Chain A
């Protein structure tokens, strides 16, 4: 019996449940407050947050929906990694440290928090998060406030509260980071990025190899 439940739990699609929940709430609040935010710079941009406590990333993509006089945007939340404009890699633990007034740049130097890609995108998302100022707890409670989803509510709140706070910190610290620190800080992520690039090339080479093998099968002997 227990193995059945473990199997089902494994296939509970936790990441999809979380991203679906976040997406519903963000867009609900967005409908009410989008008039107060200029989306021009964020259209089609993606911010990815990789939290070490979650074994999947959270990617937020801003997409324009209706063509109208008013800004109508939609935020998609996925676990896609194929394309992103900026990635923040951190942990909920570090986000708590941030709350105790540690500097973003300090945490970056200590390899506890990492920003790769276009930091301006992170700044823009930070402004958006500030404008929306979502009350996650009450929002989540209205949507999924029953007992079986209690744990999700807790985690969702934890993740998003911390995100909101980091957003403010990033906004405050990013300019400083851009001006003073970016050139001197060699982060773990830059090495990882390089490794990823190597892995990508390796994968592409393999694809190419398979393709060449496929084509040469068709060559006349």
Chain B
């Protein structure tokens, strides 16, 4: 079974026409995407963490650790964890930037933010974290605010990715960096096939069984396939103004970490 068996649209993963975009494999009006994505994350919020562990066999924790290690974060830094959801990255950043630093957990979805806030409070992480409901396309921060912006498994859900990248660029300080952790294209055909089989057969069933929500997990699998591959995303970073852009494949390219600087 391959992705093509699932009626994957053949056009570019970018926005296909002026007013339409993709919601998984469906082509929909841009205006509808935000609320449809919101529907998905309202519905998965409570089970999100447990599903993450199950679906990725816990490997998402290593991908996130890799992101932290690559961020070069230091005490006193201001960090934006964009599309931060339940706050895994925020938790680590908050501890590493210390009292003199600050972390903003921003997400478009109030349910995800609430689950994140409760989780971080339970961990005793309160001092240096702010929670903000915001759309990545229209970040409500001054220019040149952050030393580091991360967006982990979030960019593929954003309606206008180029606009979001420009918005991130604007709020980064000169010398600051963006890290995009996102599903990407496995480098090897065999791995690609195995991954397709897993995503379209096993993953939605797991979603159905554990989170009672197969449709949302079908969307997640489809949105992963529609997301730009490594080189395309790198070019998108370049186009948004980022410099010294690069990416590193993790787990055979199932996931890639892109990095770009603002000078």
Contact = CB atoms under 8 A, between A and B. Distances in A.
Interface of A: 4, 7-8, 11, 13, 15-17, 19-20, 44, 56, 61, 63, 65-67, 72, 74, 76, 78-80, 82-83, 207, 210-211, 214
For the complex of A and B, the 6 pairs showing the least CB-CB separation, nearest first, are: A66-B124, A210-B263, A83-B74, A16-B65, A65-B124, A63-B95
Contacts of A13: 62-63, 65-66, 250-251
A7 B263 contact: no
Interface in B163-199: 174-175, 187-188, 190-191
B8 interface: no
B249 A11 contact: yes
B124 A79 contact: no
10 contacts: A11-B249, A11-B252, A16-B65, A56-B69, A63-B98, A65-B125, A80-B69, A207-B263, A210-B243, A214-B263
B99 A44 contact: yes
Contacts of B98: 44, 63
B75 interface: yes
Interface string B83-97: 000000000100110
A4 B65 CA distance: 24
A7 to B, nearest CB: 6
Interface residues of B, number: 32
A65 B94 CA distance: 10
Contact of B124 (A8, A72, A80, A210): A72
Interface string B55-73: 0000001110110110111
A83 B98 CA distance: 12
Nearest to A44: B98
Contacts of A7: 187-188, 252
Most buried by A among B61, B96, B187, B251: B96
A145 to B, nearest CB: 16
B123 interface: yes
A67 B126 CA distance: 10
A70 to B, nearest CB: 12
B65 A78 contact: yes
Contact of A79 (B61, B69, B250): B69
B95 A76 contact: yes
Nearest to A17: B62
A82 B175 contact: no
A59 to B, nearest CB: 9
Interface in B100-129: 123-125
Contacts of A66: 124
A63 B71 CA distance: 19
